Structure 1
Amino acid sequence: MQETCNTKKFNELFSKLSNSSADEQREKIEEMNELMEEMGEEEFKSVFTKEWFNEIDKMIEEKTLSWENAILLLKHVGYCQTLKCFYDFAFKYSFLSDRFQEMIIEEKMMIEEKDEKLLVDLCECYLLLNRWPSSEMSSIIAPCILKVALKKEENEETQKEVEMALLALSNIPTFDKLDKELYLNEIKEIIKYQQEHHNLTRIAYQSAWEFLIKRFYWDKSLEEVIVNEVHFEREAIRELEELAKWMNWKKKEEEMSKKEAKEVLIIGRWLHALGIFFRLFRLWKEEFAELIGSVAHVCRAARENNKEISNWCICSFRDATENGNVRVEDLLKGRAIDVVLEEIHRQTLNEGRTNECFQFFMNVSRKLKQKNKDEREEEERKSMKKKVFEKMEEEGYEDIFISFQKTNMFYFDDAVFIYL
C-alpha cells in the first residue's frame, strides 16, 4: 500500500518519540491521535501491525516511553479501532499483549499498594485493542472497568472516562461467558440512570447496551431484564430515530463533518447490536414491528451515500428472519420486505449484498410454508402468504430472481419460492 500523508506524518512523529522528553512525547502523541482519526481501515491496519506493538513494548521495557504516554497513545488506537470496527489480531499476538496480561493479573492480585488507576488503564487498553480476550481475562477485567463506568458526574472529563470504559466493555465477545453477578446489577444501574438523567454520551449508552445484549448468548434469563425491565426495543427506536433525524444523508461519507461521521459509526454499532437481538431473542412483542420500521427508515435514508450502513440494515433484517419467533407480519408492518425488494431492484448491488437480500426472502419463504394445526392460525398464515405473494408479484420479484440466478450469484433449491 502506498504511504499516505497521514501515515507518513504519523510514522515520522512515532520515530521521534524515543528521543523526546515526556512533555514532548505527549505533544507528539496528541498530534498522532488526531492523525489516526483520519485513517481508513486499510491504512489503519498498515500502521498498527504486530511489529508496531512490539516496538511499543520495547520502548516501555527500555523506559524510552513513559507508561502515562504509552497509555495515552494506546487507548486512542483502541478507541479508533473499536469505534470503527477495524477487526485485527495484530495486538493479540504481540509481546505487548503478553505484558499487559501479566501486569493486569499482578495488579489484580495485589492487596496493598495497588495502583487502581494503572489497573483500569491496563484493562481498558487490553480490551480496546484485543477483541478476542479469553473468558478468564474478561472475568478479571469487567469488574474493574465497571467501577469507572458507574461514575455519575456530568462533567466532560468524567463523561469521557465513562465512555472509554463502556466502549472497552462492549468489546467483550458474545462467546465469552461471564457470571452475571460480575456485571448485571451494575449495568442495569448504568442504563436506568441514563434513562432518567441522560448523563451518558451516545457512544457510552450504545456500548452499555451492546455489552448487555452480548451476554444473552450464554444466559437466556437476561431476556426478561433486557426486554421488560430496561426496555431495549424502546431505547433502540428512540436512539436510531434521533440519530437519523439529525443526519444529512445527502452528504457523501467524505463530505461529512467529524461529528456526523462519528454519529454514523454509532448508528452502525446500534445496527450490529440489533442484529444480535433480532437473531437470538425469543420474547418477541407485536411492538417490535416498530423497531424493524426504524431500521427500514435508516436503510432508505442511507442507501444513496452510505452503503455500509444500508448493508448493516439488510444484514439485521436477514438476522430477524432467522429467528423463529419473528413473524412475517412484523416484517411486513415494519416495511422490511418493501426495503429489501427496493434493494434488489438497484443496479449497484454487489454480490454479497444481493445474497443477503435473497437469503432474507428464502427465510421468509420457510416461515410462510410452516403450516399450523390451529385453524385460525393456518388461515392467518395463508392470508399473509397471499399478501406477500401479491407484493412480490407487483414488484416483479420472479424476473429479478431469475436474472440474478443466471449470473451464478446464488442458487436456491426453492427457486422462485413464494409461488410454492
Structure 2
Amino acid sequence: MEEMRRENFQSVFTKELFDKIDEMIEEKKIRMENVRMLMKRVAFEKMMIEEDQKKEEKDEKLLTDVCECYALMFDCMIPGNLLVIRLPYLLKAASNKEENEEAKEEVEMALLALTGFGYCEISEELYLNEIKEIILYHQEHRNLTRLAYQSAWQFLINRLDNDKSLEDTIMNELHFVREAIKELEELTRNVNWKKEKEEERRGKEAKEEIVILRWFDIIMDNISQCKLRNEEFIRFIGSIVGLYRAAKDSLGRICGVCIFSIALAAKSEPEKVDDLLKGGAIDVVFEELYQQTLEDENVCNCLDAVLAISGRFEGKMDDENGEDENGEEIRKKVFEKMEEEGYEDIITSFHETIGFLNKRLYYQLSLNISDYFVNI
C-alpha cells in the first residue's frame, strides 16, 4: 500500500466502491473483516491487469510480487483471466537458477505461491514444461530449499485431480516415489527423535515436523490420485514404516499420518497387498492396535487398513499378479501374519463396530471410539 502511487490508489478505492461497501455493512450483508479482504482483492486484481496490459516499461518484479501476494491471500479463488496472467510470472521467477540467497528466497516464494492454485484446472501448455524443468534441475543440482521443492511437487500433483495424463510424467519421468523415499529416509535419519519434553522439541525439530507433514500431504494426494505403481513401492511403504517406528515414542502426529497413509494405500485399488506385506505395513498396523493407549483416529485408520486388506481375499480372489497360484501364496502369507497377531480376534471384535461407525460417518463423530474396543 505504501508503494502505490496516489493515482493508483484512487483508481482502485473509488467513492462508488466505498459507498457500495458501506451500504452492505449497514445492511449487515458483509462483516468488517471480510471488507478488508475484499478491498485487498480488488486492489491486487486491478494492479495485475493494468500492469500486465502495459506495452512498454512493464514492471515484472512488481507483477511477480503482486501475483505472490494474491496467491497466498486468496488461495484458489482465481478468475480465469487472472490465472493466465499470474502463472507465467510465477513460473519465470521460480525458474531462476542463480545461487545467491536473495534469488533462492525469490524462487521459494514463487513456488510457494504456486501452491495457492489449489486443485483448479490448468491447461498443461501453461505450466508443464516449466515445472518439469524446475524439478529435474533440482534432482541434478539440489538447488532448491525443501520448502521450494515440496511446493513444486505439490503444485504438479494437485493437477492430477483434473488431468490423469500426468501420471506417467510424475511416476516414470520425474520419479516421485524415488524422491519421496529419499526425503523421508533423510528426515528419519536427521531428526532427534529422543527428545521428549515439548519445550526441548521447539526449533529445529518443530521445523522438521512441519517438513514431514508437508511431504505427507503430497504423498497422500499421490496415493489417492495416481493409479500407477512400480517396483519402488515396497521401499516406499518401508520408508513410511521406518518413519513411524522412529517417531513412535515422541511425535504422535507423525505416527498418525503414517498410519493414515498406510490405510489409504490399503484401500487403494492398484496397491498390491504383497507390497504392504513386504514393506512392513501390516506389522505397523498391529503394533499400533496393541498399544495400551490408542488415539481414536489411529484406531479407525488401523481398522480401515485391516478390513481393506482382509477384504481383498473375500469371495473371488483378486489376482493382483496375473497368476492365481502366486495370489494364493500372498493370501496365505497375509493370513498367517494376521493370525499370529490375533487376526481372528480383531476381525470378530471390530467388524460389527466398524459397520456401525461407517454408517454414521465415524470420522466426524465426537466420541471416544477406543473406549468401545477390547484391548487385546
Q: 2:191 and 2:308 mapped to 1: Cα distance? A: 32
* Structure 1 runs not aligned, ≥5 long: 1-56, 66-88, 414-420
* 2:305 is equivalent to residue 360 of structure 1: yes
Match among 263, 266, 270 for residue 318 of structure 1:
263
Q: Which residue of 1 aligns with 2:220?
A: 275
The amino acid that maps onto 2:144 is: L
Aligned length: 332
Say which is worse superposed, 196-205 or 380-389, in terms of deviation. 380-389
Secondary structure of 2:231 counterpart = coil
Aligned-partner Cα distance in 1 for 2:253–2:143: 29
The residue number in structure 1 matching 2:126 is 182
**Aligned counterparts, 1:76-87, within 5 A:** none
Partner residue of 1:390 out of 336, 340, 348: 336
Residue 367 of structure 1 deviates from its aligned partner by 2.4
Q: Does the residue aligned with 2:323 lie in a helix, a strand or coil?
A: helix
- Give the CA deviation at 1:113: 3.4
1:220 to 1:241, Cα distance in 2 relative to 1, 3 A: same
Question: What's the offset of the Cα at 1:331?
Answer: 0.8
Aligned 8 A contact 1:276 1:319 in 2 = no
Assess if the C-alpha contact under 8 Å between 1:91 and 1:129 holds in 2: no
- Which residue of structure 1 lines up, in the alignment, with residue 368 of structure 2? none
Distance in structure 2 (CA, Å) of the matches to 1:376 and 1:242: 35
1:307 and 1:363, CA in 2 relative to 1: closer, same or farther beyond 3 A? same
Q: Deviations over 1:143-201 (max 9, x none)?
A: 21111110111111111111111112123212x11111111111111111111111111
Who is 1:333 aligned against?
278
1:101 equivalent to 2:45? Answer yes
* Distance apart, 1:111 and its partner CA: 2.8
CA change 1:258–1:358 in 2 (3 A) is: same
Residues 158 and 389 from structure 1, CA distance in 2 versus in 1: closer, same or farther, beyond 3 angstroms? Answer: same
Quick check: which has more Rg, 1 or 2? 2
Amino acid at match of 2:57: E
Aligned residue in 2 for 1:343 = 288
CA drift at 1:59: 12
Change (3 A) 1:349 1:372: closer
Asked if 2 retains the 8 angstrom alpha-carbon contact of 1:404 and 1:410, the reply is: no
Report if the CA contact (8 A) 1:170-1:210 is conserved: yes
Residue from 85, 99, 117 that aligns with 1:154: 99
Q: Structure 1 residues 135-144 or 238-247, which shifts more?
A: 135-144
Shift of 1:374: 10
Q: In the alignment, residue 395 of structure 1 is paired with which amino acid?
A: E
Q: 1:132 touches 1:173 (CA, 8 Å); kept in 2?
A: yes
Q: Which runs of 5+ in 2 are unaligned?
A: 10-32, 360-376
**Deviation (angstroms), 1:400:** 4.2
SS of 1:221's equivalent in the other structure is: helix
Change (3 A) 1:157 1:304: same
CA offset digits 1:197-217 (Å, max 9, x no partner): 111111111111111111122
Q: Which moved more, 1:379-388 or 1:238-247?
A: 379-388
In 2: Cα distance, 1:91 partner to 1:347 partner = 51
Q: 2:68 aligns with which of 112, 124, 146?
A: 124
Which secondary structure does the structure 1 equivalent of 2:161 belong to?
Answer: coil
Superposition RMSD in Å = 3.2
The structure 1 segments of at least 4 consecutive aligned residues displaced by more than 6 Å after TM superposition are 57-63, 89-92, 373-376, 405-409
Q: Counterparts of 1:351 and 1:168 in 2: how far apart (Å)? A: 35
Q: 1:108 Cα deviation (Å)?
A: 2.7
Partner SS state of residue 165, structure 1: helix
Counterpart secondary structure, 2:303 = helix
Task: Determine the structure 2 residue equivalent to 1:231.
Answer: 175
Secondary structure of the residue that 1:242 maps to in structure 2? helix
Q: Structure 1 405/327 Cα, relative in aligned 2: closer, same or farther at 3 Å?
A: closer
In 2 relative to 1, CA 93–341 (structure 1 residues): closer, same or farther, beyond 3 Å? farther
